[in-house]
A and B are shown apart, each in its own frame.
Chain A
Amino acid sequence: MTALSSDLPTPGLRSGTELVPTTDQAQTGKDFSSDQEVRWCPGCGDYAVLKAVQGFLPDLGLRRENIVFVSGIGCSSRFPYYLDTYGMHSIHGRAPSIATGIATAREDLSVWVVTGDGDALSIGGNHLIHALRRNVNMTILLFNNRIYGLTKGQYSPTSEPGKVTKSTPMGSVDHPFNPVSLALGAEASFVARTIDSDRKHLTSVLSAAAAHRGTSLVEIYQNCPIFNDGAFDAIKGQGDYKDGKADAIIPLVHGEQVRFGAPGEDGRGSKVVVRNPRTGSIEVALAADVEESAVLVHDAHDPDPSTAFAISRLTAADYLHQAPIGIFRAVERPTYDDQTRAQVDSARQDAPGEASDRLAALISSGDTWTVV
């Protein structure tokens, strides 16, 4: 994974944190650690993400009091309690709506949502897709462990078909969501996928997501050692998949060929992603079988999300033996909150004078009569 680079500035005028006050004082991860004891299960992938976020936040150079973390319900949603910023641990599925209120009300805040596959895709699916289409300036960290953890082990909307859980003793017959496909379908302006255990990649994706102005969705593959241990072993090259990592991860780097698999004679990945000339769809081929020019070059800035969506479909729907990792899409689109504030600001500028005078004029507008 170290080959992955996600240091990808979104084209456009403003960064996601441009209006947030910065500090000259040096910050460390410790400055962002609250005094609360972290209470996830031993070995939970959430620890790694928390460490990565605490380690990454100082890089933003923002004033700590101008950062807000909002979460819903679920294991990952305890996240805000462990960060010494402003935060709200809200109710199940609703974090994007609360964050929308915060981000729309205040341009000077860096707003983050921490959610899980159940919180964001099941009970809160509606709020997620609407936040993405509106493009409210916030970053959504979607911890996907493909299981319900806090309720002790039922299948989730990302669990593979046939999964045997407490609520599906004969195997799940639900068809799962691919969160990246869903986000791209909702016309999200920034969509990425990373892995809890790869701190470098995770950090680089977070950095790009924070820099993006609009709703950034970052799916984080996160292992639940209690109820779904090993779900990402293939991706991580662990357990039964010690040699399989190169074949499992399809690294996405903007401007580079989409190439993976064990290195061939030329030292490059032996598998490539190509477009099928007949159907136009995307598929995996052996590098040896195709022309160099036929290999797909990843363009995260393509205004048309179709290719990004097609790439997202290379994610295995059953056991996760193959998944593209990286930034699928990063395009500039006006944000809901910027435009809303612009309307309010423009109306304010067009209405000079004291608010109390304008209020008096407002309530006595229309047909009036005076009694003496």
Chain B
Amino acid sequence: MSSQVQKQVKQLDRVIIRFAGDSGDGMQLTGDRFTQESAVFGNDLVTLPNFPAEIRAPQGTLPGVSSFQVHFADHDILTAGDAPDVLVAMNPAALKANIGDLPKGATIIVDTHDFSARNLTKAGYDANPLDFLGDAGSELGEFAVHAVDLTGMTVEAVKEFGLSRKDAARAKNMFALGLLSWMYGRPTESTTAFLTKRFAKVPAIRDANLAAFKAGWNFGETTETFAVSYEIKPAPVSPGTYRNISGNLALSYGLVAAGVQSGLPVFLGSYPITPASDILHELSKHKAFGVTTFQAEDEIAGVGSAIGASFAGHLGVTTTSGPGVALKSEAIGLAVMTELPLVVVDVQRGGPSTGLPTKTEQADLLQAMFGRNGEAPVPIVAPQSPGDCFDAAIEAARIAITYRTPVMLLSDGYLANGSEPWRVPETADLPVIDPKFATEANHVLKHELVLEDGTVQAEEKDFWPYLRDEETLARPWAVPGTPGLEHRIGGLEKGEGHGNISYDPGNHDFMVRTRQAKVDRIAESLPPLVVDDPSGRAKVLVLGWGSTYGPIGAGVRRVRRAGYDVAQLHLRHLNPFPKDLGEILRRYDKVLVPEMNLGQLSMLLRAKYLVDAIGYNHVRGLPLKAAELAEAIGNLVADAEGIDVDLSTTSAEEIS
């Protein structure tokens, strides 16, 4: 792609771009491709896809707008950014729906093609805002707007391939991608290869997309409209092989890895549900690793089949979202009672009920913790970033297998669909999980006896399915096919040791306490927590879990850059809590707990540690905003230290 016009190249350290269009416009693909290009280029990045639950909401309407935000930088970043620097709007609705998120001076690239009277009305515009671009005080007056007929130029560029006008226009997202790729100096090879492969079977579509992509790049390079392109240098990161990865993909790989590292075949019983279905799709591709996927008739059969598979010696896994966990509750209780390994993946979404299927939330923590009848403790593990879903899945499997228990793995919609560069781990560094199957009788029925006549009566042993390991309190896992260990388990209370049905009051009390003690015992296997408190002088601790890691980290960073002390701690294990958590909480005057719920972790901390945890809570279906969070942290620091806190020396955009 030759240069015809001499253009200025400006250095930037970070940019946030949001691609927005109709849900049929291919904005997720466009964003994903731009992300891959940026990842390969070596920028650090975080993405935020945001799309409606309707597959094709009415065209041109506000509810039908789908967007993809990517934040990329020459340094380590933690969030997808609060406010986009650049908005690419493919129609009036996309402009209308996103303009409120833009800061003053932001760049807007608008496809003028769909700004017809009808589409403007659908989007709720009385007049075409593009008609008043030069006017002071107009709606778009504070922005740098580039109004270009992207669709028209796309159609022109792909004319030679003989597509219908509709099909030709569909390549407009690749035109936009080409233009943005030029603007930010992205490498284009991966997108060219991707399009070539994806549309290999339909050469006309393939060629049209490639041509539109190139035309978009060339348009940027040659037109007077865009005078400047930008350079964002690669971010310095530790050596290794990197790839871009979404949370659902990383979680799927983690489950495959757990199978390899434990030597157990993975059995996934699942029912499709947003935003967890991609894990079912991904695992169904990995049969070569001995992974079996079963698309069940409902959520209950999904978990039921996984429990059956675990009983048969596989690693039973079920994947779902909040509503599915509600349906699975009784079966998870069965796994608690029968003490079988089971990984329950809850990719949380906005609730209650059907709630916001495509939006994120962290409001299933208490459901995971307590959502069963009886005293039914279940360990809970949560990943903190998309790539971290890999390690969290292996950790969930480790606990499930080692302690013979169902484990809740709490991901969320933001982690599931968001992505980040991920340093691919060495498989030699992954933990090895030993299933320690029972292979022989474990209980002495009759001791060896020397009879009066001197003959020796040999020791006789039998198998007790509830005779526990002293260290872990786990019961033996004896799988069908093992001779001599035939036994029956079930949902009725079991007698300690022998495992026969028991209605004995003392036994029930003992078993309830033992099941709790077994889960508590997991804390013995956890490494000490590492508090991020660089100065060691912080009086305020910000404590989080799950996907709020990014916004909390960015907020904390901003407060520190402004010259104040604040400590940060993020929990991977929500049940049991790590042993040293109580002591850490006592070290700080104030504990702030930001969550995308109304204070669920706060409630648990208050109940367990009698700590005055202060909540910072938003349930907007979107990640917390780092700048707002920084304000809340700053206010608390001011309160704790009796000082004035001024964060204005750092800009909100600078730190995220």
Q: Do A and B come from one complex?
A: yes
A residues near B (Cβ < 8 Å) are 21, 34, 36, 63-68, 70-71, 73, 80-81, 83-92, 94, 96-106, 108-109, 126-127, 130, 340-341, 343-344, 346-348, 350-351, 355-360, 362-372
Cβ contact within 8 Å between B305 and A88 = no
A359-B256 in contact given A101-B267, A101-B312, A109-B312 (Cβ < 8 Å):
yes
Cβ contact within 8 Å between A106 and B290 = no
Instruction: Decide if B384 is an interface residue (CB 8 Å cutoff).
Output: no
Q: Closest 6 CB pairs between A and B?
A: A101-B308, A89-B490, A97-B304, A101-B305, A347-B287, A351-B288
In the assembly, what is the distance between CA of A111 and CA of B98, in Å?
Answer: 57
Cβ contact within 8 Å between B501 and A81 = yes
Residues from 288 to 331 in B contacting A, C-beta threshold 8 Å: 288-292, 294, 296-298, 300-302, 304-314, 316, 330-331
Task: Write the nearest CB–CB distance from B184 to chain A, whole angstroms.
Answer: 17
Cβ contact within 8 Å between B241 and A364 = yes
Task: Write the nearest CB–CB distance from B642 to chain A, whole angstroms.
Answer: 45
Which of B289, B481, B488 is the most central at the interface, judged by chain A CB atoms within 10 Å of its CB? B488
B-chain residues with CB within 8 Å of residue A372 when the two chains form the complex = 239
A-chain residues with CB within 8 Å of residue B492 when the two chains form the complex = 89
Cβ contact within 8 Å between B304 and A88 = no
B-chain residues with CB within 8 Å of residue A98 when the two chains form the complex = 304-305, 307-308, 311
B-chain residues with CB within 8 Å of residue A81 when the two chains form the complex = 488, 490, 500-501
Residues from 467 to 517 in B contacting A, C-beta threshold 8 Å: 480-492, 500-501
Cβ contact within 8 Å between A105 and B313 = yes
Cβ contact within 8 Å between A359 and B257 = yes
Instruction: Decide if B190 is an interface residue (CB 8 Å cutoff).
Output: yes
Cβ contact within 8 Å between A101 and B316 = yes
A369-B500 in contact given A65-B480, A105-B313, A350-B288 (Cβ < 8 Å):
no
Instruction: Decide if B598 is an interface residue (CB 8 Å cutoff).
Output: no
Cβ contact within 8 Å between B256 and A362 = yes
Cβ contact within 8 Å between A101 and B309 = yes
Q: Which of A105, A355, A364 is B309 in contact with, Cβ under 8 Å?
A: A105
B-chain residues with CB within 8 Å of residue A67 when the two chains form the complex = 480
Cβ contact within 8 Å between A105 and B190 = no
A94-B300 in contact given A65-B482, A359-B256, A364-B243 (Cβ < 8 Å):
yes
A130-B286 in contact given A89-B491, A355-B260 (Cβ < 8 Å):
no
Task: Write the nearest CB–CB distance from B553 to chain A, whole angstroms.
Answer: 21
A91-B289 in contact given A101-B267, A127-B304, A130-B297 (Cβ < 8 Å):
no
A to B CB contacts below 8 Å, 17 in the list: A67-B480, A81-B500, A88-B338, A88-B489, A88-B490, A94-B304, A97-B300, A101-B269, A104-B305, A109-B480, A109-B481, A126-B301, A340-B292, A350-B288, A359-B256, A359-B257, A370-B239
Cβ contact within 8 Å between B481 and A87 = no
B-chain residues with CB within 8 Å of residue A343 when the two chains form the complex = 287
Cβ contact within 8 Å between A363 and B240 = no
A68-B489 in contact given A88-B338, A101-B309, A360-B427 (Cβ < 8 Å):
no
Task: Write the nearest CB–CB distance from A76 to chain B, whole angstroms.
Answer: 14
A-B contact count (CB 8 A): 215
Instruction: Decide if B174 is an interface residue (CB 8 Å cutoff).
Output: no
Which among B35-43, B74-82, B123-131, B624-632 touches the partner chain? B35-43
Task: Write the nearest CB–CB distance from B138 to chain A, whole angstroms.
Answer: 42
Instruction: Decide if B334 is an interface residue (CB 8 Å cutoff).
Output: yes
B-chain residues with CB within 8 Å of residue A357 when the two chains form the complex = 427
In the assembly, what is the distance between CA of A356 and CA of B260, in Å?
Answer: 7
Instruction: Decide if B424 is an interface residue (CB 8 Å cutoff).
Output: yes
A-chain residues with CB within 8 Å of residue B313 when the two chains form the complex = 105-106
In the assembly, what is the distance between CA of A50 and CA of B489, in Å?
Answer: 18
Instruction: Decide if B534 is an interface residue (CB 8 Å cutoff).
Output: no
Cβ contact within 8 Å between A348 and B290 = yes
Cβ contact within 8 Å between A90 and B260 = no
- With both beta carbons as reference points, the residue of chain A lying nearest to B390 in the complex is identified as A363
Which of A94, A96, A341, A370 is the most central at the interface, judged by chain B CB atoms within 10 Å of its CB? A94
Residues from 371 to 402 in B contacting A, C-beta threshold 8 Å: 390
A105-B314 in contact given A80-B488, A358-B289, A362-B286 (Cβ < 8 Å):
yes
Instruction: Decide if B213 is an interface residue (CB 8 Å cutoff).
Output: no
A-chain residues with CB within 8 Å of residue B291 when the two chains form the complex = 344
A90-B334 in contact given A104-B267, A348-B287, A371-B240 (Cβ < 8 Å):
yes
In the assembly, what is the distance between CA of A68 and CA of B310, in Å?
Answer: 13
In the assembly, what is the distance between CA of A109 and CA of B41, in Å?
Answer: 53
Task: Write the nearest CB–CB distance from B426 to chain A, whole angstroms.
Answer: 8
Q: Which of A88, A94, A340, A363 is B294 in contact with, Cβ under 8 Å?
A: A340
Q: Which of A71, A99, A359, A369 is B308 in contact with, Cβ under 8 Å?
A: A99
- With both beta carbons as reference points, the residue of chain A lying nearest to B337 in the complex is identified as A91
Task: Write the nearest CB–CB distance from B302 to chain A, whole angstroms.
Answer: 8
Instruction: Decide if B6 is an interface residue (CB 8 Å cutoff).
Output: no
In the assembly, what is the distance between CA of A109 and CA of B479, in Å?
Answer: 11
In the assembly, what is the distance between CA of A148 and CA of B309, in Å?
Answer: 30
A-chain residues with CB within 8 Å of residue B306 when the two chains form the complex = 101
A-chain residues with CB within 8 Å of residue B289 when the two chains form the complex = 355, 358-359, 362
**Extra 14 A-B pairs, beta carbons < 8 Å, given A88-B308, A90-B490:** A63-B483, A65-B484, A73-B491, A89-B490, A97-B305, A101-B269, A101-B294, A104-B305, A344-B291, A348-B288, A360-B427, A363-B253, A369-B39, A371-B42
B-chain residues with CB within 8 Å of residue A347 when the two chains form the complex = 287-288
Residues from 424 to 464 in B contacting A, C-beta threshold 8 Å: 424-428
Could you mark each residue 531-555 of chain B with 1 if its beta carbon is under 8 Å from any beta carbon of chain A, else 0? 0000000000000000000000000
In the assembly, what is the distance between CA of A348 and CA of B500, in Å?
Answer: 40
- With both beta carbons as reference points, the residue of chain A lying nearest to B36 in the complex is identified as A367
Which of A66, A89, A363 is the most central at the interface, judged by chain B CB atoms within 10 Å of its CB? A363
In the assembly, what is the distance between CA of A344 and CA of B294, in Å?
Answer: 12
A344-B312 in contact given A89-B490, A90-B490, A356-B260 (Cβ < 8 Å):
no
Task: Write the nearest CB–CB distance from B629 to chain A, whole angstroms.
Answer: 30
Q: Which of B308, B390, B481 is A70 in contact with, Cβ under 8 Å?
A: B308
